[in-house]
Structure 1
Amino acid sequence: MIAVHARYRGREKGRAQLVKRSAYALSTLPGVGEFEIVGVEDIRAHVESPGDALNLIMALLSDGNWAIGLGITRRGGAVHAATDATGRKPATVGVSADAEGSEASDIAATFALIGHVLMKRTYEGREATALVRRGLNQNEAAERLGISKQAMSQRLQAAGWHAEQAGVQLALNLISRAAGVD
């Protein structure tokens, strides 16, 4: 079982409403169950697969205002493992897994690197990577932004797009391994 727990650490006013709206929006992601709202700042949900967990964590990391816990168990208790793993600082991912070895710390380290790449991104970089992430190729994304293909390529390079993609693939592999999914 896989679950994600997120604790809002931003400075927005009306945080209870923001957390509720976020829970609703995040529950529309594929493979994400209904979120349980725990207190004012915390939400948690089960996810169906390692890929679904990855997509949810990436959405939370991209926002930059959430401390995230990932729970991976082979039988029961994933939500509680996720809660126990939730970090104290925004844009951090804690991991609790009943897998062998250092898989939990490897997953957390991978997300720390991805989070670093995401937080260093400019507005233009976020705009460019969002379009490519949605499935547009560089030519289509450049056209949508009204820039040249070369400028689009430069934006993606400066945004660390290739490093993000390598980190995402590594995170998916590690989560899958920890969950016992081939």
Structure 2
Amino acid sequence: MYVLTVDQVASRAGADEIPDLIRLLADVPALAPFERTVGDEAQGVLEDAAAAVACARRLLAAGGWHIGLGIGTGALGEHGSRSGGGAAFIAARQAVEESKSSRVSLAVRTGAADREARTATADAEAVLRLLGVLIGSRTRAQRSALALLDAGLSGKDAAKRLGVSGQAVSKHRVSSHYDEEVAAVPAIERLLDRAHRLSMGLETSADMAGDV
């Protein structure tokens, strides 16, 4: 299970951004859609590693969020994620709290005690944080252009939507290393999927080595 808990940064000093967050992540495949849990927090349960990485990318691009991803065993309750329980939910709570002390406000924690699962989870977290550094270095104009490309628009259509030249969008794409980011996403998903499978006890490192 992939449980994502998100806490708004400095919520007392600004507007309530939870409704915008729910809209931002509404189309991401989820076992339980994002909803407000308490105050300035929201939580959702994602379908798979690809969905978890997609959420992380969007939240990092939006900025202003502490992001905590918990992986491992768990179960949804009658009222969705708010009444869910298990190791993944506990890990998500730990992750969002620990994200607040990180330069890139994102953390991934496993609900498993297994050393291999913890190592794999740390590997996934490290690469996601590196992705966060890349995304965080972009200007607002770059993020606006890349969000449209992520949504499936061509460079020409993105330029028309933004009221800029196609050359400007192409420049944003190159200078922000967007293509390199997109190429890395499948590798990040595989790292996170591996950590999840180890956390769920579905595979061991020996099993995975045998597949190579």
Instruction: Compute the TM-score of the two structures, normalised by the length of structure 1.
Output: 0.82
Residues 63 and 23 (structure 1), Cα distance of their counterparts in 2 relative to 1, 3 Å cut: closer
**Partner of 1:93 in structure 2?**
106
**Partner of 2:130 in structure 1?**
113
Q: Does 1:44 align with 2:43?
A: yes
The number of residues matched between the two structures is 180
Q: Rg larger in 1 or in 2?
A: 2
Q: Give secondary structure in 1 for the equivalent of 2:5.
A: strand
In 2, the alpha carbon distance for the partners of 1:18 and 1:148 equals 31
Residues 108 and 125 of structure 2 are in contact (CA less than 8 Å); yes or no, is this contact kept in structure 1?
yes
Deviation at 1:18, TM superposition (A): 2.9
* Worse-superposed segment, 115-124 or 70-79: 70-79
Q: Does 1:134 align with 2:175?
A: no
Per residue, is there more strand in 1 or in 2?
A: 2
Deviations 1:34-53 (A, max 9, x none): 34544423222211111111
Deviations 1:40-76 (A, max 9, x none): 2322221111111112222221122111111110454
RMSD between superposed Cα atoms in Å? 2.7
Q: Give secondary structure in 2 for the equivalent of 1:34.
A: strand
Taking every aligned residue pair, what percent have the same amino acid on both sides?
Answer: 28
* Worse-superposed segment, 154-163 or 164-173: 164-173
In 1, the alpha carbon distance for the partners of 2:35 and 2:167 equals 45
Instruction: Compute the TM-score of the two structures, normalised by the length of structure 2.
Output: 0.72
Residues 93 and 112 of structure 1 are in contact (CA less than 8 Å); yes or no, is this contact kept in structure 2?
yes
Deviation at 1:4, TM superposition (A): 0.6
Residues 154 and 85 (structure 1), Cα distance of their counterparts in 2 relative to 1, 3 Å cut: same
Structure 1: segments with no counterpart, 5+ residues: none
Superposition map of 1:26-105 within 5 A: 26=24, 28-32=26-30, 33-35=32-34, 37-74=36-73, 76-86=86-96, 87-89=99-101, 91-97=104-110, 98=112, 100=116, 102-105=119-122
Residues 125 and 27 (structure 1), Cα distance of their counterparts in 2 relative to 1, 3 Å cut: closer
